[in-house]
């Protein structure tokens, strides 16, 4: 599955716009939620990161389904527009691991493996 991406949100993030402003302006852009989640993780705010990542994850699932994904099959990391969704899944895994939500952590790892066996490594998850 190859998502179309959100060129406006991506351009704003590339221009160093505040990701909270980008997410508010483009709430369906998983990439904005991924950036927010990753920053929250970097700041030690696992619960906040979890919320951001879960939002981006669900927005990404909505886009995948609208584009014909049936809940399984490849979502290649090499396709740049897919990375927002995959980064959200990875951030959700990290946040879940940090707060001790073992089942959610494993589900996220399994989803990454199902989407693209190389995604975990590319996203820094062993």
The DSSP-derived string for 16-67 is T--HHHHHHH-TT-HHHHHHHHHHHHHTT-HHHHHHHHHHHHHHHHHHHHHT
**Average pLDDT per consecutive 10 residues, the chain (126 residues; last block may be shorter):** 93 98 98 98 98 97 94 94 97 98 98 96 93
pLDDT value of position 71: 87
- Tell me, yes or no, whether 109 lies in a domain: yes
Domains contained in the chain, number: 1
pLDDT value of position 40: 98
- Tell me, yes or no, whether 24 lies in a domain: yes
pLDDT value of position 113: 97
79 burial via Cβ count (<10 Å: 0-12, 13-18, 19+): middle
> Measuring CA to CA, how many Å separate 102 from each of 8, 18, 38, 109?
36, 31, 19, 11
- Tell me, yes or no, whether 80 lies in a domain: yes
Q: Other C-beta atoms within 10 Å of 101: how many?
A: 17
- Tell me, yes or no, whether 45 lies in a domain: yes
pLDDT value of position 118: 96
**45 is in which domain, residue-wise?**
7-122
- Tell me, yes or no, whether 1 lies in a domain: no
- Tell me, yes or no, whether 2 lies in a domain: no
């Amino acid at each position: 599955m190859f998502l179309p991406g959100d060129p406006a949100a991506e351009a704003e993030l590339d221009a160093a716009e505040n990701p909270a402003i980008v997410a508010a302006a483009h709430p369906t852009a998983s990439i904005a939620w991924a950036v927010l989640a990753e920053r929250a993780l970097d700041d030690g705010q696992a619960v906040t990161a979890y919320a951001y990542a879960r939002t981006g994850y669900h927005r990404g699932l909505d886009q995948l389904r609208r584009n014909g994904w049936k809940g399984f099959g490849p979502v290649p990391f090499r396709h740049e527009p897919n990375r927002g969704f995959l980064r959200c899944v990875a951030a959700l895994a990290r946040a879940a691991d940090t707060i001790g939500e073992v089942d959610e952590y494993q589900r996220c790892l399994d989803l990454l493996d199902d989407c693209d066996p190389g995604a975990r490594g590319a996203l820094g998850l062993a």
